[in-house]
Structure 1
Amino acid sequence: MPDDEQPQLTIWGRANSVNVQKVLWCLTELDLPFTRIDAGMQYGRTREADYLAMNPNARIPTLVEGDFVLWESNSIMRYLCLAHGRGTPIYPSAPKQRAAVDRWLDWTLSTLQPVDRPVFWGLVRTPPEQRDMVQLQKDTDTAAEIWQVLDRQLATHRYVEGDDFTIADIALGAYARRWLGVEGIVRPTLSHLDRWFAQFAGRPGFATYVAPPMS
């Protein structure tokens, strides 16, 4: 099928979801056109029968391309690079380099996301009068220990896995936006993390989809 006849890429998911943001940033890095449909939280739809037929987890994002459906944000990014990246450096082809990127994608979900969520939800999605600031600071201290792991990695790397920007930077950069953007807590200074994060300001995908105010 010629490129101009490829099925349209459609992303289901609300724009303020960190996992949707990762995918939108990736699409922008690859210069791929797409359509996004609001779903999740206030938009509902994820528990409707037609959506569950695509994604039985009732979560976002979900990618639809013709008759192909894929869920899980990191898997979607991998697929986009493999199917549409044409040798893109953001997902290396060499096995060792790719495995190194993959481990950080796994680490984001297995290790970082569980400690990020209580802080973000407690400060951004909980009304001020309902916040338990003592508990939130404890949660912040726990999360800080995890962010220090990445800060130490970045002490000797321009990007997460060396001199080149990859989808590991997208995944971790989207979460770093939340960590560095919330207020009302005490965080340690992580200079390497700050230096790394500052590089994203000039990337259109980050500026358009990740940098806007959190909600």
Structure 2
Amino acid sequence: MLRILGRANSFNVRKVLWTCAELQIPFQREDWGRGFTPTSRPEFLAINPIGLVPAVVDNGVVLRESNTIVRYLATKYGGDEIYPKDPIKRAHCEQWMDWANYETSISLRGAFLGGMLKEPPWNFPMFVEQGRKLITAEVGQLQTHLESTGQYMCGEMFTVADITIGLVVNRWFSLDFERPHYPAVEQYFEQLSKRPAYIEFVRNGMP
């Protein structure tokens, strides 16, 4: 059985949990990370020397980095719809995964970690203001994209791109500052919310 190491309230662990639920992959999860067993423990570092969650062990295969894990699980346990085999369609999915992992992770440090959680050093007013400006612009880019794609990030079918972007959108709607109205993003949020696994692991009261 798939072993997932990481706390259930972790942004990145939730990507893996959501993927498992969508693909009906049985798993056992262990609490590691902030508020639980420290990832600096030797037994965790033996699995993931980087010391971050999530990490997974799948029949002896050890992996880290949430997007890599999502792609691996989709390749092994999913079909062509969630992670297309066609190289162009696959690249379209992956470019949004990579965009979210880099661009929005930077802006959310200021807007969420600093602005909402008041965590240093991100709670400096400069970081908070810049983070809010950046995430607003980035979600504006999602708005423009979603106006042209329909239901999901890569068209009518749910893919791995939606798993990464779905976490970002959920956090966007939790931010405690005045946000512009992005109707296509709101419609997308509601479309994702029709999926039981999204409600269970993402839109479940946690930002």
Q: Tell me, which stretches of 5 or more residues in structure 2 are unaligned?
A: none
Work out whether residues 137 and 186 of structure 1, in 8 Å CA contact, stay in contact via their aligned partners in 2: no
Give the corresponding residue for 1:80: 73
Partner of 1:51: 44
Match of residue 3 from structure 1 = none
Structure 1 residue 190, shift from structure 2 partner? 1.1
In 1, the alpha carbon distance for the partners of 2:104 and 2:77 equals: 28
CA distance in 2, matches of 1:118, 1:35: 33
Q: Is the 8 A contact 2:110 2:130 kept in 1?
A: no
Contact 2:109-2:131 at 8 Å conserved across structures: no
Q: CA deviation at 1:214?
A: 2.3
SS at match of 1:11: strand
Residue 186 of structure 1 aligns to a residue whose secondary structure is: coil
Deviation of 1:50 after TM superposition, in Å, equals 1.3
1:38 aligns with 2:37: no
Deviation at 1:139, TM superposition (A): 2.3
Deviations 1:88-133 (A, max 9, x none): 4111111110011011111111211111122111244238xxx667
When residues 135 and 82 of structure 1 are mapped into structure 2, their CA distance, relative to the original with a 3 A threshold, is: closer
Higher fraction of helix: 1
For 2:154 and 2:49, the matched residues in 1 are separated by 33
Determine if contact 1:62/1:70 at 8 Å carries over to the other structure. Answer: yes
In the aligned structure 2, how far is the partner of 1:135 from the partner of 1:72? 25
Question: RCO (CA 8 Å, sep 6+): is it higher in 1 or 2?
Answer: 1
2-structure distance, mates of 1:136, 1:171: 23
1:199 to 157, 170, 191: 191
Query: Relative to structure 1, is the Cα distance of residues 124 and 212 closer, same or farther in structure 2, using a 3 angstrom cutoff?
Result: farther
1:214 corresponds to 2:195: no
1:148 to partner: Cα distance: 1.1
Alpha-carbon deviations, 1:129-168, whole Å to 9, x = none?
Answer: xx66786344212211111111110011121111111110
CA deviation after TM superposition for structure 1 residue 81, in Å = 1.1
Asked if structure 2 preserves the Cα contact closer than 8 Å seen for 1:46 and 1:58, the reply is: yes
2:123 equivalent to 1:168: no
* Residue 96 (structure 2) aligns with: 104
Identical columns (%): 34
1:6-62 alpha-carbon deviations (Å, 9 max, x no partner): xx1011111111111111111111011111101111113311111111111110100
TM-score normalised by the chain length of structure 1: 0.88
Indicate the residue corresponding to 1:17 in structure 2: 10
Question: Aligned to 1:69, which of 59, 62, 71?
Answer: 62
